[in-house]
Amino acid sequence: MNSGKLKQADLLTDLTEEIVDVAEAHHWKFHVFNSAFPDNTFSKETVYDKLYGINFTPQNCETISIVFLSNGKMVCPARIHFFASSENSEEQSYIYSNSVKTQYAGIQTHQVIILFFRYLSNKYFDDFELSDESGYWETNDEEKMKKQFQIYNRLTDDFALAFETLPAKEGEDIFTYLERLMKNVNDLQ
């Protein structure tokens, strides 16, 4: 999960170009929205219909958004669709955070992404926060990151094994079946 804002409006072009360079070097798909704010300034109004920045997608990874509203705040484009018109302030706040699953991309890609965010946050972002389930962002500890990836991979493997070897019982609803599968996975631990 991450959130933040761009330090200065005139940094967006350089930020976008750097991300494009890295995405191309790694053969990651990307999409550039607008790469400059009008007159290189942030708007005082919050406008949801025009986005600035870039999305990129490392192989076997969810799309990573480094996208901003006209006010310079980082947003999740998909969440704008769901929560921009909400009158609930808590739901509105969801717009300003992103989350990405990197588990299936692997340890090396995860590490590259974290190091890249560390570089970008120092150069381009204010009030930037990132929460990393592997602990690598917070600790820079490669061994801790590897152990966490092993735990997630083992859980995924155990669940797949339980799913393959324990079919649903006749008349068993989906919730009861999933509870039984999870109990089996927990027993394997």
Which tokens belong to 75?
């947003």
- Give every CB contact of residue 155 below 8 A, 6+ residues apart in sequence: 185
Identify the H or E element spanning 79: helix 77-83
Closest-CA residue to 64 (of 47, 149, 74, 80): 74
Q: Can you point out the beta strands (E) in the chain?
A: 2-6, 29-32, 52-57, 64-68, 74-75, 125-130
pLDDT of 53 higher than 70: yes
Which tokens belong to 14?
């350089």
Chain segment 17-31, per-residue pLDDT in tens: 999 999 999 999 999
**Mean pLDDT over all residues of the chain?**
87
pLDDT of 159 higher than 60: no
- pTM for the whole thing? 0.77
pLDDT of 151 higher than 70: no
- CA 48 from centre of chain: 20
pLDDT value, residue 103: 76
Chain segment 94-142, per-residue pLDDT in tens: 898 888 888 778 889 999 999 999 999 999 999 999 888 888 889 988 8
Establish how many alpha carbons lie within 13 A of residue 142's alpha carbon, considering only the half-sphere containing its beta carbon: 6
